[in-house]
Chain A
């Protein structure tokens, strides 16, 4: 029998990709006993107790709510700052515009850990520590440059004559921006929002450093589950599964824009 090599490679590839995710789901549906004592490819005693714990314990579901809160705040702030900035970069030439653009990008080159200390000290002294806005603002340091960069590529592909035609027709700047311009770069806005959301959602270090109780993120909650009774493997696995879900949902909704975005913009 002739072996279809490409299909074989593909199957192996997907197998390797899916294995950790499968194992996580597998674990989340077992009891701690089974996880620790036996090796089983699927749950022998199927249980949803781990999920029930997360949905009933405020310290667990609170983590998700906190994360979602600052992620959404961050996405909104990043985009509303990046849109005018990207427009300026794409439409006007001003002194030092190229340097400024480069400098914005260099912000992304430093690891978040570098900024953990200054942010912690600053936010503590101005009373922002352990608030949602603190994490959201900290993340804009990384998301605004990326969003500006993505949006600028999209805006550049819109001819300047459209702006001028709109002004000649009598549109004011803001009406033009909202009614004519934004629909033209909708894919770009979608892609930028996606990247902001994802970065903010998976970022652990800053969110853990800048919060303690009231705004504790889910990632931080997960790293602090060691209790007197040891690690609660099953609940932790269930939390992991639930953490993947929002990202997967966002990707599902913007998947067409992403494909379009990667082709049109310059990501």
Chain B
């Protein structure tokens, strides 16, 4: 099984919703669509499902052109961010409903429903109506219905976004289990980089109707091909500052000296953008070559085990993610340190010029 999007494009009333994209999803893979809201994740899913028709391009399923084919005749299942069930049917009938339409023997349906309910911990609620369940259970019911059909393509559109933290973690742990059991192509849309990393598989990063990068999740994370991808795949967002190379001398921001490392010695003279992740900023010097930045502290957020420092460095807003609790005075200057091996060097247009040396070692 494979799903191929061949040069698809979507324009609605003259507005470009999806720019020309080609993408192939292989059999039994977990694919994460990662991007901020309005980046086109849901639109991509609707195109894959056949709920919307692309303005141009073809959708190929197992080598067969299915562009414009009725949704009913496609081999798909979908779960929405909102908890969508059939409110007038019991949980049992909800899960059974796709099977009933396939004219399967009653005994087999019963078996399948019970199995799915078992996996989704719904066995005790089969006689209830979906609206009598908690939010997490409602979404489990929707997942069970998607699962029971055994579709080749399962689309999950931010299925955990409307759940509270605890339930989200619980359910997130179950999605790889479902995936492993089904052997289908999974597509999972999310806004959270952390979720993409936990699910593994492949990740496509999306920005404004374009797929900026597609590949194995860890590799997209470690080797973003441009600043947009790096920014999407970083939570909190990546920090940026100017980087200049003149006559072999490298300066960061407004004149801070940086000793050229091996990698950077090959860099030609010019203006660049340096990017690094918030978790690589430190409050103490941990290595000899670490660079010291002076920044003004605006806000600190303490989450219990970690502290987020929101600060202003020259004209850039930065976020630092520090381990432990740090009680720092707001509005004052702080020194933060960065190992230069954590710097990604981007060209002026945002394309990657030099990857961060640490990511090569990892």
Which of A's residues lie within 8 Å of B, judged by CB? 159, 161-162, 164-172, 175, 180, 183-184
Of the listed stretches B73-81, B254-262, B293-301, name the one at the interface; the rest are far from the partner chain. B73-81
Residues 55-78 of B contacting A (Cβ, < 8 Å) = 70-72, 74, 76-78
Taking a contact as CB atoms under 8 Å apart, the answer to whether B87 and A170 are in contact is no
Residues from chain A with Cβ under 8 Å of B51 in the complex: 164, 167-168
Nearest chain A residue, comparing its CB with the CB of B151: A168
CA distance A161 to B42 in the complex (A): 12
Nearest chain B residue, comparing its CB with the CB of A180: B86
Nearest chain B residue, comparing its CB with the CB of A158: B87
Of the listed stretches B94-102, B115-123, B206-214, B334-342, name the one at the interface; the rest are far from the partner chain. B94-102
Mostly helix, strand, loop or mixed at chain A's interface? Answer: helix
Residues from chain A with Cβ under 8 Å of B86 in the complex: 162, 166, 180
Taking a contact as CB atoms under 8 Å apart, the answer to whether A168 and B77 are in contact is yes
**Contacts known (A171-B72, A172-B72, A180-B88); A165 close to B78, Cβ less than 8 A:** yes
**Contacts known (A159-B82, A161-B82); A168 close to B76, Cβ less than 8 A:** yes
Taking a contact as CB atoms under 8 Å apart, the answer to whether B82 and A171 are in contact is no
Taking a contact as CB atoms under 8 Å apart, the answer to whether A161 and B101 are in contact is no
Q: How far is the CB of B219 from chain A (nearest CB, A)?
A: 32
Q: Is B145 close to A, CB under 8 A?
A: yes
Residues from chain B with Cβ under 8 Å of A172 in the complex: 72
Taking a contact as CB atoms under 8 Å apart, the answer to whether A170 and B101 are in contact is yes
Residues from chain A with Cβ under 8 Å of B149 in the complex: 169
Nearest chain A residue, comparing its CB with the CB of B86: A180
Taking a contact as CB atoms under 8 Å apart, the answer to whether A164 and B78 are in contact is yes
Contacts A164-B71, A168-B51 aside, 8 further interface pairs with beta carbons under 8 A come to: A161-B82, A162-B86, A164-B51, A166-B86, A169-B145, A169-B149, A170-B102, A184-B87
CA distance A164 to B80 in the complex (A): 10
Taking a contact as CB atoms under 8 Å apart, the answer to whether B101 and A165 are in contact is no
Taking a contact as CB atoms under 8 Å apart, the answer to whether A170 and B78 are in contact is no
Q: Is B49 close to A, CB under 8 A?
A: yes
The 30 listed contacts between A and B (C-beta, < 8 Å) are A159-B82, A161-B82, A161-B84, A162-B84, A162-B86, A164-B51, A164-B71, A165-B78, A165-B80, A165-B84, A165-B142, A167-B51, A168-B51, A168-B71, A168-B76, A168-B77, A169-B97, A169-B98, A169-B101, A169-B145, A169-B149, A170-B72, A170-B98, A170-B101, A171-B72, A172-B72, A175-B101, A180-B86, A184-B87, A184-B88
Taking a contact as CB atoms under 8 Å apart, the answer to whether A168 and B88 are in contact is no
Taking a contact as CB atoms under 8 Å apart, the answer to whether A183 and B88 are in contact is yes
CA distance A171 to B149 in the complex (A): 13
CA distance A162 to B97 in the complex (A): 13
Q: How far is the CB of A181 from chain B (nearest CB, A)?
A: 9
**Contacts known (A162-B84, A180-B86); A168 close to B101, Cβ less than 8 A:** no
Taking a contact as CB atoms under 8 Å apart, the answer to whether A167 and B84 are in contact is no
CA distance A162 to B142 in the complex (A): 11
Residues from chain B with Cβ under 8 Å of A159 in the complex: 82, 84
CA distance A184 to B88 in the complex (A): 7
CA distance A32 to B82 in the complex (A): 68
Residues from chain B with Cβ under 8 Å of A166 in the complex: 86
The contact string, 1 if C-beta is below 8 Å from chain A, for chain B 136-175, is 0000001001000100000000000000000000000000
Nearest first, the 7 A-B pairs at minimum CB distance are A183-B88, A170-B101, A169-B98, A167-B71, A161-B84, A161-B80, A165-B84
CA distance A161 to B86 in the complex (A): 10
CA distance A184 to B87 in the complex (A): 7
Residues from chain A with Cβ under 8 Å of B98 in the complex: 169-170
CA distance A218 to B143 in the complex (A): 57
Taking a contact as CB atoms under 8 Å apart, the answer to whether B78 and A168 are in contact is yes
Q: How far is the CB of B134 from chain A (nearest CB, A)?
A: 19
Q: How far is the CB of A55 from chain B (nearest CB, A)?
A: 42
Residues from chain A with Cβ under 8 Å of B89 in the complex: 180
Q: How far is the CB of A205 from chain B (nearest CB, A)?
A: 41
CA distance A167 to B86 in the complex (A): 12
Residues from chain B with Cβ under 8 Å of A175 in the complex: 101
Q: How far is the CB of B107 from chain A (nearest CB, A)?
A: 20
Residues from chain B with Cβ under 8 Å of A164 in the complex: 51, 71, 78
Residues from chain A with Cβ under 8 Å of B72 in the complex: 167-168, 170-172
CA distance A183 to B51 in the complex (A): 24
CA distance A172 to B101 in the complex (A): 10
CA distance A180 to B77 in the complex (A): 18
Q: How far is the CB of B145 from chain A (nearest CB, A)?
A: 7
CA distance A164 to B149 in the complex (A): 16
Taking a contact as CB atoms under 8 Å apart, the answer to whether A168 and B97 are in contact is no
Taking a contact as CB atoms under 8 Å apart, the answer to whether B80 and A168 are in contact is no
Residues from chain A with Cβ under 8 Å of B82 in the complex: 159, 161
Residues from chain B with Cβ under 8 Å of A169 in the complex: 77, 97-98, 101, 145, 149
CA distance A219 to B35 in the complex (A): 67
Q: How far is the CB of A236 from chain B (nearest CB, A)?
A: 47
Nearest chain B residue, comparing its CB with the CB of A183: B88
CA distance A204 to B98 in the complex (A): 50
CA distance A62 to B98 in the complex (A): 51
Q: How far is the CB of A184 from chain B (nearest CB, A)?
A: 6
